[in-house]
Amino acid sequence: MRRERRELHDLLARLERQVSPPSENDLRAMARTASSRPRPLPSPAPPRRWPLQARWTGVLAIALVIAVGLGVGLGALIAPSGTAAPGPIGTGFLPGPGWTVLQTGSDATPERQALAVATNVPLHPEDSARGIRNSSGLPYSTLLQLPPRGVVIVALFTLRLKYEPWSDELFPEHELPLRVRDAMNSISYSYQMRPERPLGQYELRATVGDHRIVLHFYFGARHPSPQLIATAQRQLDRLIVASVSGPTTNADRRQSTSAAARASKIVDRTVVCSITPGGVRELDVEARSGTRDFSDPSKWRFLPHIGFRDPRTSAARLTSASMSAGRPYIQRDPGGSSNTFLLGAACRTANAGVSLSSARLSGGAASPVGDEYDCVVPAKVFVRVRAVFRAPTSLRRGRTPSGGTYYYAREDIREAAIAISTVLGKPIALATAHESGRARLFVGDTCGPSG
């Protein structure tokens, strides 16, 4: 036993002498990326840089060196299609046909983050185990030569910590599978990795269960085609995120099956809402027509949007609803919600008929910059929320960091409407949105433009 310990100690000592310390440029990049918010980095020199946090990249590099030193085959870390194990350990990608997956092989812990990389092109030799030794972990050489139809996905996993509620806003809750279209263009706060032949670079942040996830998508084309986005989506569908709180239970499976059985293309709900007192009771209603992207009119910059809210409601008691119609594209406005349908759960279901007609109301097409009105209302109002989705969906229940509950759906909406009336049937407001980009807003005589 003592002899084995001495041999292991000698081996680790030799490995330590062989591992080159990080360069000054690497240390500067690590210091910049220690922040939770991305910041622009200078052009990399030498080309061994990756704008991710430093803790796990160092662990990955050392793990690869030790694995090679101990004679561990690369198949345990780089798994081409057809040679992968039944699944990743904890979190990571299952490789799809034609994809190669690189991952740390262990789940994230409070002290350690985890990494997974997936690519549909062969890794450059410099990004192999020996080439990655002195780098920060990103397949940088592969990205420099990424062909137009190439895709690289890099995933960073951390644990959601209870004492960091401030970060919930940066990582909205999602369920698997995540969607590439919910990513936003990361060039707005990062640097172009290949300026002479620009890559398409996008980022998606999400909370899945008890994990925070940051996904970076690199496309060989600056403006990826729908086919290339679909290629990335098929691999993203194979992302696995294990829960540290335990496996899925039979009750969870029954609940999921029940929700799927209730899926429908049409969601039509009428609720009664108690308006927060405080002087004059008011509701805010809004509508905004869609805006096309200036550089590519085939894509939306802003989707047509409608909504209402009680301005005095607390974050723990949501009296609001919002919907966006149309199909969002991968180039979306930073900070935009990936939910196409949101309905606060503070209102109670009501068995009442609320018309979707604009009779006795005045208004018309909404401005692309948005129209908002304040409406004086009684203590209780009826609100009807109706959405026609492209595909069957079901409402799911979510919770805000402040404890408020809401219902949401993420399927694309063809048309949406919000109608508000008094409990006696007098119409107050009607807002509609259509996937064509049109939004309309009609209001009654108790409403006026927001100041």
The confidence band for 375, taking pLDDT boundaries of 50, 70 and 90, is very high
Taking the C-alpha atoms of residue 376 and residue 81, their distance in angstroms, rounded to an integer, is 61
Give the Å distances, CA to CA, from 293 to 208, 219, 300: 30, 20, 5
Tens of pLDDT, residue by residue over 82-118, are 333 334 446 788 888 899 888 776 677 665 677 888 9
At residue 433, the pLDDT reads 95
The more confidently predicted of residues 314 and 42 is: 314
At residue 243, the pLDDT reads 64
pLDDT at residue 287 greater than cutoff 90: yes
At residue 396, the pLDDT reads 80
Taking the C-alpha atoms of residue 153 and residue 346, their distance in angstroms, rounded to an integer, is 39
Question: Backbone dihedral region of 295: left (phi > 0), alpha (psi from -120 to 50 degrees) or beta?
Answer: alpha
The more confidently predicted of residues 108 and 417 is: 417
DSSP code, position 112: B
Close Cβ partners of 171 (under 8 Å, ≥ 6 residues apart): 160, 205, 206, 207, 212, 213
Taking the C-alpha atoms of residue 138 and residue 141, their distance in angstroms, rounded to an integer, is 9
Planar angle of CA 44, 120, 197, nearest 5 degrees: 40
User: In the chain, what's the furthest Cα-to-Cα distance?
Assistant: 92
The more confidently predicted of residues 169 and 60 is: 169
SS3 of 413, please?
Answer: strand
DSSP code, position 264: E
The more confidently predicted of residues 344 and 205 is: 205
pLDDT at residue 27 greater than cutoff 70: no
Over residues 316-332, the mean pLDDT reads: 74
- Rounded to 10 degrees, the C-alpha dihedral 351/353/354/356 comes to 130
At residue 167, the pLDDT reads 54
pLDDT at residue 162 greater than cutoff 60: no
The more confidently predicted of residues 98 and 5 is: 98
The confidence band for 447, taking pLDDT boundaries of 50, 70 and 90, is very high
Contact 286, 441 (CB under 8 A): yes
Over residues 412-439, the mean pLDDT reads: 93
Tens of pLDDT, residue by residue over 328-341, are 654 443 333 445 67
Cis upstream peptide for 165 (omega within 30°): no
Taking each helix axis as running N to C, give the angle between helix 2-18 and helix 54-69, from 0 to 180 degrees, rounded to the nearest 10.
Answer: 120
Over residues 54-79, the mean pLDDT reads: 32
- Hey, where are the domains in the chain? 18-241, 263-449
In this prediction the pTM is 0.48
pLDDT at residue 198 greater than cutoff 70: yes
